[in-house]
Homo-oligomer: A and B are copies of this chain.
């Protein structure tokens, strides 16, 4: 996980993304303890307030859980996490815009679809890069 303060993206969002990605990649497993706010802040060279905000939003998304006095832990994926309609709508909007950008960068629709196939793993046989 790398934080780039000049990327224009909010630091707390970059932190959130890094943690989510670590979970998806298996680096962080459900139940694992996350570094404390202060420790994470030192590691990533950001303000503790920034880490606290990232943790707070992640908790509201039920990605992590805070246990008072014990720390912050990766949530167990099996819980009944219902899809937030607002989040879903926002995602779809962002997705469409990103696809539009991609086509402007010269990527064809099929290249975009193949990119998705790649990311979702599964059947990658014959997928063009």
When each residue 5-27 of chain A gets 1 if its CB lies under 8 Å from chain B and 0 otherwise, what string results? 11010100000010011001000
Q: Give which listed residue, B61, B84, B98, B107, contacts A94 with CB less than 8 A.
A: B98
When each residue 103-129 of chain A gets 1 if its CB lies under 8 Å from chain B and 0 otherwise, what string results? 111111110111111011111111111
Complex Cα distance A123/B108, Å? 12
When each residue 61-86 of chain A gets 1 if its CB lies under 8 Å from chain B and 0 otherwise, what string results? 10101111010000000000101100
- Given contacts A24-B100, A67-B5, A99-B120, A110 and B91 within 8 Å (CB-CB): no
Chain A interface size, under 10 / 10 to 19 / 20 to 34 / 35 or more: 35 or more
Q: Give which listed residue, B66, B99, B116, contacts A99 with CB less than 8 A.
A: B116
**From residue A82, how far is it (CB to closest CB) to chain B in Å?**
8
Question: Which residues of B are found within 8 Å of A129, using beta-carbon distances?
Answer: 117, 123
- Given contacts A6-B65, A68-B10, A116-B112, A81 and B96 within 8 Å (CB-CB): no
